[in-house]
Amino acid sequence: MLLVVVVVVVPVSAAQGEIRVATTGNIFFSTQYLLQSDSTVAELHDVEKIIVSIIDTYTNAGFPFCRVVPSTHDAQTDTTVLLSIEEGERVVVSDYVFESNGKTRTNSIRKIAHVTPGDYFSSSDIAQTKENVLKTDAFIAVDEKIVRRGDRYYVLLHLTEKNSDFLQASGSFDDENALFNVSFYSLNLLGTLRRFQFRYEYEKLFSLQFTEPILLYPAVLDANFSLWTYDSIRLTQFHATFAAPLWRFFAFKMLTGVESVSSLDSDSASHGHTDNIIGVGLGVDYETPNLEGHHQFAYDYLFRTHDRWRIQLDLENTVYRLDAEIHYVRAQTDSFEFFDYYRLGGARSLRGYREDQFFATRAFWVNCAYKAIFVFPILDMAVINSTFLYSYGIGVYAESQLADVSLVLAWPKGGSWQDGKIHLLFEKGF
């Protein structure tokens, strides 16, 4: 038997003067508790707010079938709105049933959803469950309904999956050189809701990353292996990051790992060394209809003959159609080595300059793009090694069933049209 939650709201007629609100039919909650200080209101809109509040109160306490029917009683000096409450049955959820239109395994969904069978029905708990599932980025929507089997009630959650495996290719081009990158990443590896990413940057980087959100839920374990190669020197990194949620929007992170620097020149092999690294970080993520923010702060410390510490701040915000990113990095040591420097320029920082054009121990930069339409302006500004730089240009973004394509044309400070850089990104989901 399928039961559907129905809320009946009868519009009230226009009223003059004070509006008094009263309730009838309520047994589980008293009128004083339901209305609190709202027994007299000035606007009919306030009555609607009271009705919504009553429905929320009941559905959070185990009454998913509660209905509120308002009726008006006019007098010479005021109007009384009588709210007739039909509480319905108080429901204990025997279990939560998940169904998906894709490949995701039910046991993985249950772990992420964090449900508790045997408790009273709660609309706020259902909303939190849906939020937990949608945070995986593997689903478009989660729809719920109550199903009755005999004398037991179940909450059925239907999940609509979206593309979660992606092939991405990108390149940066100018009149002097060209760079090519390719990556594959999965947001739902083999239906387990685990993540995997492979990255390759031509003659520079080979990287593997695996994210485990299930085993220690709600904490997340992330493992990364990277191999950086520049001319005759190589950096091998293995990092493990543990992230634990703090309240709703915050996450605390701890990093540990090893880094090994070696020379590809056999005559200089003795100059290689392997060192331990530790770090901490804080993340803040939030999203509203008109505002989205992803903020990260990280600090790490590398133990070696000349110890090194670094800090990094990344603030990414979208306000309506404006993308604004703010970044700050700093490294400090008594003796800088090649991989201690930040390499800036190109698609990830200053789009009007070549990739890795600048080496810095401290830098601050801002990236802006206003994406009101598919053709949008961009502006990058930076202070690198006490030098102010900027670049500007236009971008084009197109989505299709075949693939998503982004193209950016950018020019450096004081440069001619021949100094422009082209950044191309191609992404295919499947």
216 contacts: CB under 8 Å, gap ≥ 6: none
**Residue 173 pLDDT grade (very low, low, confident, very high; cuts 50, 70, 90):** confident
Q: Which helix (H) or strand (E) holds 127?
A: helix 123-134
Residue 239 has pLDDT above 60, yes or no: yes
0.75 surpassed by pTM: yes
28 contacts: CB under 8 Å, gap ≥ 6: 58, 61, 63, 87, 90
Reading the block at residue 340, the tokens are: 């201690």
Least confident residue range of 12-16, 332-336, 383-387? 12-16
Residue 1 has pLDDT above 50, yes or no: no
Provide the percentage of residues in the chain whose pLDDT is more than 70. 94
Residue 174 has pLDDT above 50, yes or no: yes
Instruction: Write the pLDDT tens digit of every residue in 372-403.
Output: 889 999 999 999 989 999 999 999 999 888 88
Predicted local distance difference test score (pLDDT) of residue 76: 63
Q: Which helix (H) or strand (E) holds 276?
A: strand 273-287
Please spell the DSSP secondary structure of 31-91, one letter per residue. HHHHHTT-SEESSHHHHHHHHHHHHHHHHHTT-TT-EEEEEEEE-SSEEEEEEEEE-----
Average pLDDT estimate for 264-287: 84
Instruction: Identify which of 213, 40, 249, 257 has the alpha carbon closest to the alpha carbon of residue 114.
Output: 213
Q: What is the mean pLDDT of the chain?
A: 90
Average pLDDT estimate for 118-126: 95
CATH H-level, domain 2-86: superfamily: membrane protein fhac (3.10.20.310)
Kindly list the distances between the CA atom of residue 4 and the CA atoms of 61, 127, 153, 234, in Å, as whole numbers in the listed order.
17, 17, 12, 62
**Residue 11 pLDDT grade (very low, low, confident, very high; cuts 50, 70, 90):** very low
Instruction: Write the pLDDT tens digit of every residue in 290-318.
Output: 899 999 999 999 999 999 999 999 999 99
Task: Work out the angle between the directed axes of helices 123-134 and 106-113 (0-180°, nearest 10).
Answer: 120
Reading the block at residue 254, the tokens are: 């701890």
Backbone angles phi, psi at 130, to 5 degrees: -65, -40
Average pLDDT estimate for 181-185: 95
Q: Say which CATH class 165-429 falls into.
A: mainly beta
| Residue ranges per structural domain of the chain | 2-86, 93-161, 165-429
348 compared with 178, residue with greater pLDDT:
348
Predicted local distance difference test score (pLDDT) of residue 7: 42
Cβ atoms of residues 55 and 29 within 8 Å: no
Q: Return the CATH number of the domain spanning residue range 93-161.
A: 3.10.20.310
161 contacts: CB under 8 Å, gap ≥ 6: 100, 101, 102, 103, 104, 138, 139, 140, 188
Other beta carbons less than 10 A from residue 320's beta carbon: 10
C-alpha to C-alpha distance for 373 and 377, rounded to whole angstroms? 10
Query: Comparing 93-161 with 165-429, is the CATH topology the same?
Result: no
